[in-house]
């Protein structure tokens, strides 16, 4: 069972995530101060203080910061098994409602309630006594139920600048066409930008390099196929858009830390 972790982190304006990011657990992302963009799969979200995003297992995401010299965020990470009691008591439909929207809009005046729950979890995370573990779980469930109720009011979508909307659309195109031999030139042409300018804008807006993003989408799908099918590694490489099996092996090991065959043998536990 994955440990339930809460952490508070300050990031400078210049901070960039060193590597691409997806994981097999849930993550609640709460921005306490500053401003940031959060790319989840292929959708851009502008995050302001008090906003909260829910990132599901396997969703590729990356944060970029802007305008504020210091940004403080809080993340709450927990494994899929933590939802089992909710599913047992409330059913799959009500539990699944929590994930209707990635970005959750809290009613006016209710941010203080969320902040208080977070402070309680942080207090118990320090290990006050033998009751701390169960108290943290109770606060987590209270927070999840509150956020699920907040899903009834979908936040107004932020109107992106034209150039950023084009980048978001490009990310969506890559996301859905990773299995074909798409090129930088092809995607840049769809956005009416030169390849060099598109490459710079894609990196600035999403935090990903074009090739890095495409490779991560492919590797994520390959990792899933390795665990859920009996297809050969060569078949999976081709199905996920890799024309070269050796390149697939190198790219997979760079991102996941082990070769595809080892990953399959270890059932993804790396």
The span from the CA of 253 to the CA of 110, in Å, is 44
64 pLDDT band, cuts 50/70/90, is confident
**If we measure between CA atoms, which residue out of 216, 258, 198, 165 comes closest to residue 60?**
216
Cα–Cα distance, 212 to 60 (Å, whole number): 12
- Distance of CA 209 to CAs 2, 44, 63, 84, 205, Å? 31, 15, 13, 37, 10
Encoded tokens for 125? 């995370």
Identify the H or E element spanning 176: helix 162-176
Q: What is the mean pLDDT of residues 61-73?
A: 84
Measure Cα distances from 146 to 42, 128, 233, 247 in Å.
27, 25, 43, 46
C-alpha triplet 199, 205, 209: angle, nearest 5°: 40
CA dist., res. 29 & res. 32, Å (int) = 10
Closest CA to 124 of 106, 142, 150: 142
Residue whose C-alpha is closest to residue 221's, from 199, 239, 244, 245: 239
CATH for 5-150? 2.60.120.280
pLDDT of res. 20:
54
**Which residue bears the tokens 């995370």?**
125
How large is the average pLDDT for residues 151-173? 82
Question: What are the boundaries of each domain within the chain?
Answer: 5-150, 162-265
pLDDT at 155: 59
Quick check: 1 pLDDT over 60? no
What is the residue whose two structure tokens read 């402070």?
119
CB 33 within 8 A of CB 72: yes
Q: CA-CA-CA-CA torsion for 177, 178, 183, 187, nearest 10 degrees?
A: 50
Q: For the chain, give the number of residues.
A: 270
Helix, strand and coil content of the chain, in percent to the nearest 5, comes to 50, 20, 35
Q: Quick one: pLDDT at residue 152?
A: 74
- Which of 18-32, 75-89, 215-229 shows the lowest per-residue confidence on average (mean pLDDT)? 18-32
At residue 260, the pLDDT reads: 95
| pLDDT tens string 133-153 | 999 999 999 999 999 988 876
Q: What is the pLDDT of residues 40-56, one digit of tens each?
A: 999 999 998 889 999 99
- Architecture of the domain spanning 162-265: Orthogonal Bundle (1.10)
pLDDT at 21: 74
């Amino acid at each position: 069972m994955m440990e339930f972790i809460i952490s508070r982190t300050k990031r400078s304006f210049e901070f960039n995530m060193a590597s691409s990011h997806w994981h097999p657990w849930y993550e609640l992302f709460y921005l306490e101060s500053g401003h940031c963009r959060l790319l989840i799969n292929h959708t851009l979200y502008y995050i302001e203080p008090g906003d909260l995003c829910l990132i599901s297992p396997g969703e590729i995401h990356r944060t970029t910061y802007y305008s504020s010299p210091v940004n403080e965020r809080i993340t709450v990470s927990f494994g899929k098994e933590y939802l089992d009691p909710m599913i047992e008591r409330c059913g799959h439909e009500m539990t699944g409602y929590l994930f209707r929207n990635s970005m959750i809009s809290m009613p006016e005046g209710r941010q203080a309630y969320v902040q208080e729950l977070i402070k309680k979890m942080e207090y118990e995370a320090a290990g006050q006594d033998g009751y701390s573990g169960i108290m943290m779980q109770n606060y987590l469930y209270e927070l999840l139920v509150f956020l699920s109720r907040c899903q009834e009011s979908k936040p107004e979508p932020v109107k992106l600048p034209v150039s950023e909307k084009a980048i978001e659309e490009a990310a969506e195109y890559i996301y859905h066409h990773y299995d074909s031999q798409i090129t930088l030139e092809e995607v840049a042409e769809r956005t009416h930008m030169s390849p060099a300018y598109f490459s710079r804008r894609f990196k600035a807006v999403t935090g990903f390099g074009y090739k890095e993003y495409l490779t991560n989408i492919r590797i994520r799908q390959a990792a899933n196929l390795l665990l859920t099918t009996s297809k050969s590694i060569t078949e999976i490489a081709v199905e996920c858009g890799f024309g070269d099996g050796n390149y697939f092996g190198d790219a997979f090991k760079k991102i996941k830390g082990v070769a595809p065959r080892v990953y399959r043998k270890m059932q993804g536990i790396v």
